[in-house]
A and B are shown apart, each in its own frame.
Chain A
Amino acid sequence: MGIIFSILSFLATIVVKSIMNRIVSKRQLAAEVFMIEVEAPLIARERQAGQFIILQVDESFGERIPLTIADADSERGTITLVFQTVGRTTHLLAEKSVGDSVPAVLGPLGQPTKIEHFGDVVCVGGGIGVAPLYPIVQALKGAGNRVTVIMGARSKELLILEEEMRAIADEVIVVTDDGSHGRKALVTEPLKELCEQEPRPNLAVVIGPPIMMKFCAETTRPFDVSTVVSLNTIMIDGTGMCGGCRVTVGGETKFTCIDGPEFDGHAVDFDNLMQRLRAYKPREDADHEKCHQELETGRGGSE
């Protein structure tokens, strides 16, 4: 009896493990940008806007990378992830199909976004940063705010989730660097105009490449519009154990994984952040290059 029971429970574990973190849908949003929905019922149940997960595509040798949770459906037990293929892990993730599973997904991590009734809020998303902005816009709307979204990308092909944003925001301003869609401008231009208007926005939420967040923070600073940024640093554990994710905020050291990922944009030392993000750059560039060569020659990235 005992033996049968343990065999059964052993089988049960195998079954549970193999269907864990299964990819249930996959969509390509732009040239190098993918959106996947992953079965992760525990994370879907607990997550709040602004939180992230850490995943691995291989538990033996894989890297642990953080990705913000773009959306979650607690009833279906799924979370939505949007990622750009920039390194080895994201390339390998992009090669996965519906039905495949992601070997390790840990979360939800980090502090949730502070959601309350602020009044007028401007949300700025750059490139892939539009994805993590989406649940925040949703939550801010839910709390009764008037939300203006500024979304930008290098060109039309790289712009993601425009329709989705239009469906929930009060106003959407689209800009592209090359003018191929919306206004030909950087996100800072409409942001500045909004700050110049009366009444000024009560809050700005900015998510995107560090350089964009830096300039957005500089744009809002003279107008005294408090500005929240969401940082994506190098991480390992995501629980405060390694300190690899540390950032300098207001002259103090903070751990992005437990104190963040959102911080006061006017206090973040962006130059230090950008330098730290480039710590392993020579190697990552080589990986990116290698993956592209392999994809082009049709050999795929897996070993």
Chain B
Amino acid sequence: MSGKSTKELHEVACEVLEGLKERLGTGAALNARERMAIPMQEMPTQDKVLRRSNMNEVSLGFSAEQAQVEALRCLQCKNAPCVQGCPVKIDIPAFLHAAGEGRFDDSVEIIRNSSLLPAVCGRVCPQESQCQEVCTLGKALKSVDLAVGIGRVERFVADLQRESGKQMPPTVKAATGKKVAVIGSGPAAITAAADIRREGHDVTIFEAFHKPGGVLVYGIPEFRLPKAIVQQEIDILEAMGVKIETNFVVGRTRKLQDLLDKDGFNAVFIGSGAGLPKFMEIEGENLVGVFSANEYLTRSNLMRAFDTAHAHTPIYKSRRVAVFGGGNVAMDAARTAVRLGAEEVYLVYRRTEKEMPARLEEVHHAREEGVVFHLLQSARRIIGDENGRVRAVECIRYELGEPDTTGRRSPVEVEGSAFELEVDTVIVAIGNDSNPLISKTTEGLKVDSRGRIVVDERCQTSIQGVYAGGDIVLGAATVILAMGEGRRAAAAINAQLATEG
């Protein structure tokens, strides 16, 4: 990161564009050499000190000129490995081509053919291990960091459409009289609901929480994904006529089977997410001051506990926090703790930074914000004081062992390396299992040994007319995969309802 301000970054882009003006004016496409010479555009970000005490978004987004310049870097290579790298196969060269010509409206429509949530995915997709990992430009420049910033352009064109009020609800076909229930309101459910409603079916979303959006509202913090963006997607669903019943837990408020048998739903889509926090199963884990990342983040995001002046929900006051894990959830928890005023935040991870499943950008941002990484370490027990509150964590160190058959070097405990890390708060972010509430209350619904709902290639479960997708099928995965599954399931449901006549 160059440390340039938003304005400076914008000016750099303007200069580049100015320099290319004549050349672009000829009408002939840029050649590969010319494209490779265009400098990569940097994402403007909020000041790294100031942002430690606010919840506002960290990445500020490209200006139009930056987006156009970045899009022009795409080599438009024929084999387009990026499309294969994209879980929903967005026609990336085409949308970048349109953006490179400044046709931003066309650009976003191309994305929308394959993805319903570009403003969300542009922000939270792990691009560096998907489309950008295989980008030919990145390969040519020998660094994935220099690949085309596909996600950033995606975000820009989606934001532009949204902010200019041009994002219209898709047209809905004439009513068919068929009813579909969608359980959950995360990315899988939002996508399924939209695609099913489009065909003219009556769609009702049932969400356990008081606000729809799933992990996008309760888990991922505002500083990474502004809630207004998610709300707009929900508003669009409502404008399409999708009904949203919040405060409704399927399995408790109503059994899934009753939705089909008694309430007249012709099909059900389950998009209930992973949602069962794993704990480390070590001594002291129920001490006061130990939280699952889900709880910590839900308090701060959904319940808005960071807004202490208004929120009724309290959040633990911490001075020294240890977060265990190395994924996006761990980064979000650590960075939230920073913003809530903790003096020291440690991120303790069993392997090395290379193996961290978190998005690269989040790792950078966490470091910039002062999160201290303790790599090759893990917790052995949590130690409490006389009031049952966390006082310290006993950690042990690891070193990387000999490569195993797959070539992967697993961590091996270093004998006698135990030490105490003094903290008053512990946040466990080592993943989520599948929440069994629906499977336990639905007879005949098949799940695998890890509680994930088993589906066929059409996303149909062991019960006829009941489909599932997203984290409840994949295990804790990603937004884009959840969205892709919601779409596939919707297609299958639409097909089922069409044949039922």
Contacts and interface: CB of A to CB of B under 8 A. Distances in A.
Interface of A: 2, 5-6, 9, 13, 42-43, 46, 56, 58-64, 88-89, 103-109, 236-244, 246-248, 253, 258, 269, 271-272, 275-276, 278-280, 283-284, 287, 303
B241 A9 contact: yes
B174 interface: yes
Contacts of A280: 314, 316
Given A275-B388, A280-B314, A237 B437 contact: no
A280 B287 CA distance: 13
B286 A46 contact: no
Nearest to B285: A253
A106 B303 contact: no
B391 to A, nearest CB: 13
A63 B312 contact: yes
Interface stretch (B8-16, B203-211, B455-463, B482-490): B203-211
Contacts of B208: 106, 237-239
Given A244-B291, A248-B286, 13 more contacts: A43-B253, A61-B307, A63-B311, A107-B249, A236-B295, A236-B303, A239-B437, A241-B277, A242-B295, A244-B295, A269-B286, A275-B388, A303-B310
Nearest to A45: B254
A248 to B, nearest CB: 5
B321 to A, nearest CB: 15
B252 A241 contact: no
Interface on chain A toward B: helix, strand, loop, or mixed SS?
mixed
Nearest to A62: B312
Given A240-B276, A243-B279, A253 B294 contact: no
Interface residues of B, number: 46
26 contacts: A5-B175, A13-B243, A42-B253, A59-B211, A63-B303, A88-B312, A104-B210, A106-B210, A106-B253, A109-B252, A239-B249, A241-B275, A241-B294, A241-B298, A242-B298, A243-B279, A246-B286, A272-B286, A272-B388, A275-B287, A275-B387, A276-B388, A280-B314, A283-B314, A284-B314, A303-B310
B304 interface: yes
Contacts of A64: 210, 303, 313
A58 B247 contact: no
A242 B210 contact: no
A46 B254 contact: yes
A46 B247 contact: no
A9 B304 CA distance: 32
Contacts of B209: 237
A196 B416 CA distance: 54
Interface string B284-324: 01111101101100110001100100111110100000000
B266 interface: no
Contacts of B59: none
B45 interface: no
Contacts of A60: 304, 310
B316 A6 contact: no
Nearest to B314: A280
Contacts of A241: 275-277, 294, 298, 435
Contacts of B388: 271-272, 275-276
B389 interface: yes
Nearest to A9: B241
B437 A243 contact: no
Interface in B46-104: none
Contacts of B314: 280, 283-284
A243 B241 contact: no
B292 A106 contact: no
Best-buried of B208, B279, B304 by chain A (most CB within 10 Å): B208
Interface string B261-292: 00000000000000111010100011111011
Contacts of A105: 247
Contacts of A9: 241, 243
Contact of B288 (A6, A239, A276, A287): A276
A103 B294 CA distance: 24
* List of 9 A-B pairs having minimum Cβ-Cβ separation, nearest first: A275-B388, A242-B295, A63-B312, A280-B314, A243-B292, A241-B275, A244-B295, A106-B247, A104-B210
B62 to A, nearest CB: 32
Given A104-B210, A105-B247, A109-B252, A243 B313 contact: no
A247 B286 contact: yes
Query: Which of A243, A244, A269 is the most central at the interface, judged by chain B CB atoms within 10 Å of its CB?
Result: A243
B254 A42 contact: yes
A243 B312 contact: no
B253 to A, nearest CB: 5
B130 interface: no
Contacts of A88: 312
A15 B174 CA distance: 25
A197 B480 CA distance: 65
Contacts of B241: 6, 9
Interface in B210-244: 210-211, 241, 243
A279 B210 contact: no
Contacts of B243: 9, 13
Contacts of B387: 275
A109 B307 contact: no
B239 to A, nearest CB: 9
A237 B312 contact: no
B246 interface: yes
Contacts of A279: 288-289, 316
A2 B172 CA distance: 10
B331 to A, nearest CB: 19
